[in-house]
Amino acid sequence: MIDAPGSPCTEKTPSGRATVWLVEDNALYLATIRELINEQDDLSCPVAATSCEEALQALDLGGIPDMVLMDIVLPGIDGIEGARRFRSASPTTRVIMLTVHEERDTVFEAIQAGASGYLLKSSPAERLIESIREVRDGGAPLNAHIARKLLDTFGVSQVARDKYGITERETQILQHMVDGLTMRRIADRLFVSPHTVDTHIRNIYAKLHVHSRGGAVAKALKERLV
């Protein structure tokens, strides 16, 4: 999947399709996932790189992906640092971490680095594509088993919520954000308008002193807010 050593494989992106870059050092998995993405009518994978360095090189050349699927364990710059650099260089790009690991600390590191989702490589192809679309639409997919482990470990702290002045409604919305629901899905679940949910989310950001969904989710889990 690489045209030449040290150069990410690139191709022209069909108009109207969300661009997804892949960063994965397993050539077979890289080729398989790239083909799967390119089979979708609404998604395209114009860049497939075997290292963060190659992907960042493509970014330096002017490419701006909508999303990046990033392996955590990579040669050279690892996926977590790669996510941090992508988010710094291209704030509009959303990063989904791919891994075979489920360690709690790794999940926190990934989210704090700006990741919008965290999935196991063993996830079915359908779930992978669904997760990419969730991120595209503003969601934050998190493998259910990983999310359950985190919540079971940290529990819920009313004291922490009181510390930030989080209301009951904001707690509900924050929980749905942790579950990876998009703004529209949260609105449907709570029988309110997306505009109302957006207002609540902005208030949550202000109270938690964060600037992104990933930051809010990370803080919610770390400080037992949900």
Amino acid letter at 130?
Answer: E
Q: Please indicate, yes or no, whether residues 89 and 109 belong to a single structural domain of this protein.
A: yes
State which of 35-49, 86-100, 144-158, 165-179 shows the largest mean pLDDT. Answer: 35-49
Domain end call among 116, 148, 180: 148
The answer, yes or no, to whether residue 5 has pLDDT greater than 60, is no
Distances (CA, A) of 31 to 7, 48, 125, 134, 220: 16, 8, 13, 22, 36
Measure the CA–CA gap between 65 and 136, rounded to whole angstroms: 11
What are 54-86's pLDDT values in tens digits? Answer: 999 999 888 899 999 999 989 899 999 999 999
Are residues 132 and 30 part of one domain? yes
pLDDT-wise least confident of 46-60, 70-84, 115-129, 194-208: 115-129
Least Cα distance to 146 among 211, 191, 98 occurs for 98
Cβ-based neighbours of 90, under 8 Å, separated by 6 or more: 59, 64, 65
Instruction: Classify residue 100 by burial, with Cβ atoms within 10 Å: 0-12, 13-18, 19+.
Output: exposed
Together in a domain, 16 and 41: yes
Q: Is 20 helix (H, G, I), strand (E, B) or coil?
A: strand
Same domain? For 77 and 142 the reply is yes
**Rounded Cα gap, residues 138 and 153, in angstroms:** 27
- Residue 211: its pLDDT value, please? 85
119 and 45 fall within a common domain: yes
**For the domain that residue 40 is a member of, what is the CATH number?**
3.40.50.2300
Domain check: are 140 and 173 in the same one?
A: no
CB 179 within 8 Å of CB 147: yes
182-195 pLDDT, tens per residue?
A: 889 999 999 999 99
| Unique residue bearing structure tokens 């079915």 | 124
Which pLDDT tens digit goes with each residue over 78-108?
999 999 999 888 988 999 988 876 666 677 7
Amino acid at 72: I
* Residue 213 belongs to domain spanning: 155-222
Do residue 43 and residue 102 come from a single domain?
Answer: yes
Read off the pLDDT of each residue in 4-32 and give the average, rounded to a whole number. Answer: 74
Q: State whether 124 and 194 are in the same domain.
A: no
State if pTM tops 0.85.
no
**Boundary of a domain, candidates 148, 165, 182:** 148
My answer on whether 49 and 106 are in the same domain is: yes
Residue 1: inside a domain, yes or no?
no
pLDDT for res 105: 66
Q: How far is it, in rounded angstroms, from Cα 196 to Cα 207?
A: 17
- 174 and 225 Cβ atoms separated by less than 8 Å: yes
pLDDT of 173 over the 90 cut: yes
Q: Is residue 3 one of the residues assigned to a domain? A: no
**Residue 175's domain is classified under what CATH number?**
1.10.10.10
Residue 9 has pLDDT above 70, yes or no: no
Kindly give the residue spans of alpha helices, DSSP state H, lying in the chain.
27-38, 52-60, 79-89, 104-112, 125-136, 144-154, 158-164, 168-178, 183-190, 194-208, 213-222
pLDDT value, residue 8: 54
One-letter identity of residue 55:
A
